[in-house]
A = this chain, B = another copy of it.
Amino acid sequence: MSFSEKDRTLTSTDASVPVGAHALGDALALLRASPPLVQCITNIVVAQWSANVLLAAGAAPAMVDNQNEAGLFAAAADAVLINLGTPYNDTAEAMLAAVTTAVANATPWVLDPVAVGPLAWRTELAHALLAVGSPTVIRGNASEILALGGGTGGKGVDSLDTPEAALTAAQSLALRYDTVVAVSGAVDHITDGNRTVRVSNGHPVMTQVTGVGCALGALIAAFAGTVDDPLIAATAATAMLTVAADGAALSSIRPGSFAVALLDELSDVSPGSLAERVRLS
């Protein structure tokens, strides 16, 4: 299921972009052909929404998030998502258990460090998770990525910074943890420290629906459970969600209708339309 560098170069329309549009379509075709089982240890706000996003995209979500089962279940999962939205003492224990299993089995895992920085307890939790082993992908908004890299972070769950401002921090974070960092924003920036891809699809109404970013973390985990290259996985998920958002925004830019349309569009995105509609740079 890996995509060689050669394939990517061949399918990219612009040799300077490290991920080609067709590689993203191919990743989606693989995901649909063999739906990855994605263990989500996520927050109470977005649990339903994340599951519905994964189902609409074609993946198989499983929210096994208690400390008695999370470590065991991670051994069966194709990928693990750890989202720090509403962590509790017990779920923190479940997260550590799941990540320990994932690292031991070389199962891909994704860290979504919601609101790290201003909140010391979850920031320590994020670092404790990183100390178990490198995540496959870290996804956050610019403030979260800056905070994880040593900055001060945002206010609440919203970013005060732009992805462009966080790119240097993202690149050094990627190199430090040998991971891929996806910085969400008006233009999404995805980097492994050496290669950086920008995805410029999407619409501002996405910020008016809770959990769109969290759902992106779940979708990145689904793709990380599908393809070997984490840069492709993170880019494919970002492309799929934002291409679907482009379609949904044509139906409605009012938040209730948009959220419904986003699920509809996710189920409609084909490998071909993904490759055609994504705007990479």
Chain A interface (Cβ < 8 Å from any Cβ of B): 37, 43-49, 51-52, 55-56, 60-69, 72-73, 76-77, 85-90, 115, 118-122, 155-158, 207-211, 252, 254-257, 259-264, 267-268
Are B89's CB and A155's CB within 8 A?
no
- Given known contacts A49-B48, A69-B121, A210-B51, A257 and B254 CB-to-CB distance under 8 angstroms: no
Are A252's CB and B264's CB within 8 A?
yes
Chain B neighbourhood of A67, CB < 8 A = 89
Are B76's CB and A37's CB within 8 A?
no
- Given known contacts A62-B157, A120-B72, A45 and B48 CB-to-CB distance under 8 angstroms: yes
Chain B neighbourhood of A157, CB < 8 A = 60-62
Are A263's CB and B255's CB within 8 A?
yes
Q: How far is the CB of A15 from chain B (nearest CB, A)?
A: 37
Of the candidates B76, B85, B210, which one forms a contact with A155 in the assembled complex, judged by CB atoms under 8 Å apart?
A: B76
Scoring A45, A85, A207, A261 by chain B CB atoms within 10 A of each residue's CB, the highest score goes to A45
Instruction: Describe A's contact surface by its main secondary structure.
Output: mixed
Distance, CA A72 to CA B55, complexed state (A): 36
Are A209's CB and B63's CB within 8 A?
no
Chain B neighbourhood of A264, CB < 8 A = 252, 254-257
Closest to A65 in B: B86
Of the candidates B55, B76, B119, B260, which one forms a contact with A64 in the assembled complex, judged by CB atoms under 8 Å apart?
A: B119
Known: A52-B209, A254-B263. 13 other contacts (CB 8 A): A43-B63, A45-B47, A55-B209, A56-B256, A64-B86, A65-B86, A68-B121, A69-B119, A69-B121, A72-B120, A88-B90, A256-B262, A260-B260
Chain B neighbourhood of A46, CB < 8 A = 48
Distance, CA A3 to CA B85, complexed state (A): 36
Are A208's CB and B48's CB within 8 A?
no
Are A259's CB and B256's CB within 8 A?
yes
Are A48's CB and B210's CB within 8 A?
yes
Distance, CA A55 to CA B156, complexed state (A): 13
Are A48's CB and B156's CB within 8 A?
no
Distance, CA A69 to CA B124, complexed state (A): 12
Distance, CA A155 to CA B39, complexed state (A): 11
Chain B neighbourhood of A260, CB < 8 A = 256-257, 259-260
Are A210's CB and B64's CB within 8 A?
no
Q: How far is the CB of A102 from chain B (nearest CB, A)?
A: 15
* 6 closest cross-chain pairs (CB), A and B: A256-B263, A254-B264, A62-B156, A51-B210, A256-B260, A68-B121
Q: Can you offer 14 A-B residue contacts whose CB atoms are under 8 A?
A: A44-B47, A44-B65, A48-B210, A55-B208, A61-B210, A65-B86, A66-B88, A67-B89, A73-B118, A76-B155, A76-B156, A77-B156, A88-B90, A257-B264
